[in-house]
Structure 1
């Protein structure tokens, strides 16, 4: 990715938030790299160099600024096909920092060759995948050391270093400090909840987004109270809970202490669910008048792919309210009890393995028609066996084809799952009644023709059309 140094320096001197997360500034006189929004004294242009990612700045030998904290910069959305693959792989890295990752496994998950993945990382992030992984681990460790009271050994494990010695060696080599230097004089105990902020690129219509989620919460798993989204969490063999509230140009996230070992996956799940990496200006520009009245509208994602997909199947051809009822029964029957601070959030959704082991009659007893129960079991089996991935980074067209190959899943359901679980911005649930109603009750064919003008943001267009229906109902009530 080419950067215009003069434009980047202008953005740095103006503290232009539009460039935050897109450009990082290395200052050769200090050896430090910053975000464009950093409020330190502006250095001379002659000592500044500019990088497309934090990883590229660190690969050039710069250390992260302790004031603007590059680890808190907002993420990026993909703008074209190659960027989609690169960002999908980067997203997988961010969600699995504690795992034993390899270029081959990442390339396999996004459906490309190792060589192609390396080329894409060089093109979009300025570094090799291994360099990107190292930087993300270092920045996560830096964040955990700064923002939590977790023991340093737990920080090392959560950030994927494997041992305290490996973490200390990496900090000395790349940051020229010991990890404990980031610790303040007073920190909460290790048993306390963990608190984080997740930045985004404004505007964000949090109220509309959380209303969408509130209308589709699963009893026992999720709850929305006074604008706070709460849910149970099952990740990487650990369970716990989280809460999300709006803050200043960021979301305030609280995780239970039990999720300390799964912080990367938990935070990545929140980013997906609230679509925090979106570029609202790009969407509004592409959709034109359709999006101008709601510039901060986001595409709700999914914290748990199998949870979202099962709920989508349960909701086929019935109302949203009826689907919530069935999903609540399903969770109560097959989920696992969990203690949380909230009485209404008390169960984790069953795993794909648990669902795949159910019988059709067990699910049908809940009031689910047998054909739909068969689809749910087949869907869960495909996920449990690794044949189907329901998260961003999965090959979109192949995944949609796999979904539609299951009896009972048609184009609408497959695209709705792609829209939310895969976070695919161009998903289009063909024939959707709400879309057709918002367009004046045109035919499915006519709606499809109009939707061509919205590529590659058709999923966002669908959200705007659904939102316009709700506004029309409010205006006539």
Structure 2
């Protein structure tokens, strides 16, 4: 992989920039997709193939623009520009964020690959351009995932969107091309200032908001987990009451690009994996048995199947949307 500065015409208005070469097929939208909290996530904007993201680094906030290029026989690349006090730190984190450290070699070794069932082989064929992203920002990923505990995705994303619009900050200015309304998620200190009635107004029940508060009081220690191996980080994260195996797995999938952490306890995942691999629904224990042949790459297999477009049949009633704001 090669990192080089972007051409002057692209970099002129930016505080920092680079051109990143993935060294093979690459799909930016599918790679970064797990980091978005739905299509209306205020910290992201998708404009055609271009993705904008605002986030806070150790050096300050940054607005980042990812523009994929290549094709027609050319090696693919991503031109990246960043604005704001954290632009330099944001650019340094970009290769890891875009999946530069995602290692498929063990999975793609011929002896291993030959054992794959047809569904997984087909999913791999459709996932040649997919990477597992590593944001390295634990609090940024943990907060919206806590909001997703034991409620529907619709509820959780509605709450997150409300809170970001209320307590987030405008993203650093990035010229005339920048999307309007791009928002920085609150920092840990800012999240701690959100009053209890605002969590209620957002539809976040007291159990989840209490878990958020406990996690935020350990924000410094949580951010250090980004430097540990994924499984160790997930274990240490679970020392905070209210953070269990599902939450920790969902976080390290995004902060570490972990290829093996499975979201045990997910309301839909076991049935989905069972349907994909056997045509039958299963439970968590059954899912783990089905994924056991790919130990070390179990989450990778799940992500490949999800990315392939597979949809499971409807097995039963959907989870009911709760409105905690009425209580």
Smaller-chain TM-score range? 0.7 to 0.9
Name the residue aligned to 1:229: 51
Residues 408-462 of structure 1: CA deviation (Å, up to 9, x unaligned):
2221111111111232222111143234323221221111122221121122112
Provide the aligned length of Structure 1 versus Structure 2: 290
Whole-angstrom distance in 2 between the partners of 1:453 and 1:262? 42
On the 8 A contact 2:15/2:87 being kept in 1, the answer is no
Q: 1:419 aligns with which of 229, 232, 253?
A: 253
> Which runs of no fewer than 5 residues in structure 1 stay unpaired?
1-20, 22-71, 74-142, 150-185
Whole-angstrom distance in 2 between the partners of 1:216 and 1:243? 18
On the 8 A contact 2:6/2:19 being kept in 1, the answer is no
Q: Aligned to 2:299, what secondary structure does the other structure show?
A: helix
Whole-angstrom distance in 2 between the partners of 1:245 and 1:319? 32
After TM superposition, list the pairs within 5 Å mapping 1:186-335 onto structure 2: 192=14, 194-213=16-35, 216=38, 219-248=41-70, 249-256=76-83, 258-259=84-85, 262-263=87-88, 265-285=89-109, 286=112, 288-289=116-117, 290=120, 291-293=123-125, 294-302=127-135, 304-335=137-168
Whole-angstrom distance in 2 between the partners of 1:349 and 1:255? 17
Whole-angstrom distance in 1 between the partners of 2:146 and 2:140? 10
Greater shift after overlay, 420-429 or 291-300?
A: 291-300
Whole-angstrom distance in 2 between the partners of 1:426 and 1:234? 27
Bigger Rg, which one: 1
Whole-angstrom distance in 2 between the partners of 1:397 and 1:281? 20
Whole-angstrom distance in 2 between the partners of 1:427 and 1:302? 16
Name the residue aligned to 1:153: none
On the 8 A contact 1:220/1:344 being kept in 2, the answer is no
Name the residue aligned to 2:185: 349
Name the residue aligned to 1:448: 288
Whole-angstrom distance in 2 between the partners of 1:235 and 1:403? 21
Q: Aligned to 2:145, what secondary structure does the other structure show?
A: helix
Q: 2:214 aligns with which of 356, 378, 381?
A: 378
After TM superposition, list the pairs within 5 Å mapping 1:2-41 onto structure 2: 21=1
- With normalisation by structure 2, the TM-score equals 0.76
Residues 248-271 of structure 1: CA deviation (Å, up to 9, x unaligned):
322111112x34x642x3124333
- With normalisation by structure 1, the TM-score equals 0.54
Give the CA deviation at 1:211: 5.0
CA spacing shift, 1:466–1:331, aligned 2, 3 Å: same
Task: Name the structure where helix makes up a greater proportion of residues.
Answer: 1
Whole-angstrom distance in 1 between the partners of 2:204 and 2:82? 34
Q: Aligned to 2:135, what secondary structure does the other structure show?
A: coil
Name the residue aligned to 1:115: none
CA RMSD of aligned residues (A): 3.0
CA spacing shift, 1:195–1:299, aligned 2, 3 Å: same
Name the residue aligned to 1:77: none
Residues 299-319 of structure 1: CA deviation (Å, up to 9, x unaligned):
233363212110111122333
**Relative contact order (C-alpha < 8 Å, sep 6+): which is higher?**
2
